[in-house]
Amino acid sequence: MPSTRPRRVALFVTCLVDLFRPSVGFAAVKLLEEAGCTVEVPSVQTCCGQPAYNTGDRATTRAIAAQVIDAFEGYDAVVAPSGSCGGMLSHHYPGLFDDDPALKARAENLASRSHELISFLVDVLGVRNVSARYDGSVTYHDSCSGLRELGVKAQPRNLLGSVQGLELREMKTPEVCCGFGGTFCVKYPEISNAMVGEKSADIAATGADTLLAGDLGCLMNMAGKLQREGSAVRVRHVAEVLADMGDLPAIGEPERG
Amino acid sequence: MESTAHAFKANVDHALADPNLQDSLAKLKVGFSERRRQAAERLPEFEALRDRARDIKNHTLAHLDFYLEEFERKVIALGGHVHWAPTAADARRIIAELCQSVNARTVAKSKSMVAEEIALNDHLEALGIAPIETDLGEYIIQLRHEPPSHIIAPAVHLTKDQVADTFLEHHAKLGFDKRLTERNDLVAEARHVLRQKFLDADVGLTGANFLVAETGSSMLVTNEGNADLSNTLPRMHIVLASIEKVIPTLEDAAVLLRVLARSATGQESSAYTTLNTGPKRPGDLDGPDQYHVVLLDNGRSSVLGTEMQDILRCIRCGACMNHCPVYGAVGGHAYGWVYPGPMGAVLTPQLVGVEEASNLPNASTFCGRCESVCPVRIPLPKLMRHWREREFEKHLTPKAVRQGLALWSFAARRPALYRRLTGIANRVLALFGRADGRYGALPLASGWTRFRDFPAPQAGGTFHARWAKRKA
């Protein structure tokens, strides 16, 4: 294990995890702590700015990015349980400040410290297995930003391979977009529906009883479609299963008790 | 052609409700991407070639004036002619005058997207000159009076049965009165009908995949050989190409050809690769008496030096649309103009105006699959985002979106306020969604709930609220 491995890690919670599924955040904290990190959660964070960025509102994006850059200064690493938000910090922030060298340098510094959770565990911390149990068959969807911007592909599958009782069944096209796309899914609901409809058919064809992915937006989209279709497939964030929190009600399931 | 890009949403509804189209798209989605993947895997240096292809195009664009003038000098030295067309109207006029100068009655056309861009067929027909499409796909859609739905597979939206019906309708009067059902029989019948048209044509008009500056050659790739008949049989050969098609050398062409067919169809090379280098020389057995190249700008030079310049690297392979899940859902006609898919979503606003085509760069999830397969590494999502930025600056972004975004950004920039609002939202949504775990309908979220349930949040407060408690 490299001696310079990051110890003091800031969690970028992401707005969706904060509002809809805090358990993903706690799963991330657990996985990071088990890997030897001290986890802090800067309190001034809200969102990474993608809704503004992808709507073409550069001024707002810059304001939010500057806020994030401030809030996450000084940590060894910044980790998000999302390839989409992680990619925003690590790939898109520096380009927002081409006309402001001082902020650009800080954005680049943040970018170099920012990671998606699962690839951080595997590629940076060298985690090879987790102590978790999940009795069931799962299929894993590769969310677009994580896959194509950050190269998240083998890492989650490798860690899932160490979960006791878990069987992985691949989709035919796990790399094809689920149709979420942030505001896309409500701006072009018919196209989004056609895309997620194909995805749900691909998921069903695996026969898996659980769908996992690393991005809550995609998961909510696919869970919503599966449940509208009456599917029994349960949908969870991959971090929850890896952190041995796979017994929680799945996304869109009623609370027990 | 007339743009219907402004009616994108209506076009989408139409496309999603068309079972023949959906059948065709289901095949396209699997076929093209799988063949491209296998072709790329078989060539270990494929990724390195993509880098070289990108660099060749970037170098050329940085010296575009030099290479265009070099190309012109070479063509003139060969005895050919070069015509500069700043606009689509100029190109139409030049081509019509050339056709009229030899009293042309028919023009044999090999597939050309630039000819679609300038709506050449309508113009020639109005002047009493009959354009005959000789690419099989183009021929089919010409019979059906439809625009192409894909830049390399213009009739990909049609099923075999639809083609059979179209041929029966149009070929019966030529003596082909049996409805065919086999693919090979359909091709043979089209070949038979088209052969006489090649022989009758006064002018052959082709596009160009590349214009080679060092030799003055225009280069064409096809799988049907139709371009070769279009440019050798008639007395006059007109090449219609846009200015960014020029490249410096044959060596460069070799690199680009190696990524072009693999990206397009998964072939190592197209069946026919033809170089046209000037008119027939003394002693040549065949070839045209006259050789003309019409160079179209149509707004492209204004893209040079801007943040959109990368789109001029495009070599029209179609890989971006073959891999695009949005194109795969709605097909090419929904985009409303000549160029569909991701490259069209970037190019169309440039060529017909962003007001007309404002939907196209927005109708993307930014999944990035197009960029991941582009043979010249055009950052298509980034360029689409630039269009969204221009729309936002011009206040073309829909009012509801702007207002929603303004409210959200007001809160997102004030963490304390944001915490209070998300706390309330979490409690309300969790409370009312508790019994089912999800919502079948939600006010202000019908775009979501029309097709999907909306998951309710976990009870117990937001992550930040629970984290604060844990720390306390």
Q: What is the DSSP letter of B189?
A: H
Closest CA–CA distance from residue A230 to any residue of chain B (Å):
10
Contact B447 A44 (CB under 8 A): no
Residues of chain B with pLDDT under 50: none
Q: How many domains does chain A have?
A: 2
A132 and A115, same domain (yes or no): no
A188 and A201, same domain (yes or no): yes
Going by their DSSP bridges, the two strands A77-80 and A8-11 should be labelled as parallel
Q: What angle do CA A177, A153, A233 make, to 5 degrees?
A: 55
A133 and A231, same domain (yes or no): yes
CA dihedral (B123, B126, B129, B131) positive or negative? positive
**Among B151, B186, B194, B183, which residue's Cα sits nearest to residue B342?**
B151
pLDDT at A257 (0 to 100): 60
Q: Does the complex come out with an ipTM higher than 0.90?
A: yes
A141 within some domain? yes
CB atoms within 10 A of CB A155: 22
CATH architecture of B8-301: 3-Layer(aba) Sandwich (3.40)
* 10-residue stretch averages of pLDDT, chain A, 257 residues long: 71 97 98 96 95 96 97 97 98 97 98 98 97 98 97 98 98 97 94 98 98 98 97 98 97 86
A119 and A132, same domain (yes or no): no
A94 and A146, same domain (yes or no): no
A64: CATH: 3.40.50
pLDDT at B228 (0 to 100): 76
Distance, CA of B330 to CA of B18 (rounded, Å): 9
Contact B369 A54 (CB under 8 A): no
The pLDDT tens digits for B105-163 are 999 998 899 999 999 999 999 999 999 999 899 999 999 999 999 999 999 999 999 99
Q: Where are the domains of chain B?
A: 8-301, 410-471
pLDDT at A5 (0 to 100): 66
Looking at A84, A107, A123, which one is the last position of a domain? A123
Say if residue B240 is exposed, middle or buried (CB neighbours under 10 Å; 0-12, 13-18, 19+).
Answer: buried
A184: CATH: 3.40.50.11810
pTM: 0.95
Closest CA–CA distance from residue A181 to any residue of chain B (Å):
4
- Among B residues 364-383, those touching chain A with beta carbons less than 8 Å apart: 364-369, 371-372
pLDDT at B234 (0 to 100): 87
A252 within some domain? no
Per the listing, tokens 């056609």 go with A194
- For residue A219, give its domain range: 128-242
The pLDDT tens digits for B319-359 are 999 999 999 999 999 999 999 999 999 999 999 999 999 99
Mutate to test the interface with B, among A43, A98, A188, A247 (most CBs of B within 10 A): A188
Measure Cα distances from B444 to B400, B439, B447, B449, B458 in Å.
11, 13, 8, 10, 21
CB atoms within 10 A of CB B237: 27
A104 and A13, same domain (yes or no): yes
A90 and A148, same domain (yes or no): no
Q: What is the token pair recorded at A138?
A: 């799962």
Q: What is the token pair recorded at B136?
A: 């099989």
A29 and A106, same domain (yes or no): yes
Residues of B within 8 A of A189 (CB-CB) are: 447-448, 450-451
Q: What is the DSSP letter of A183?
A: T
Q: Does B469 touch chain A (CB under 8 A)?
A: no
Contacts of B392 (CB under 8 A, 6+ apart): A55, A56, A57, A58, B402
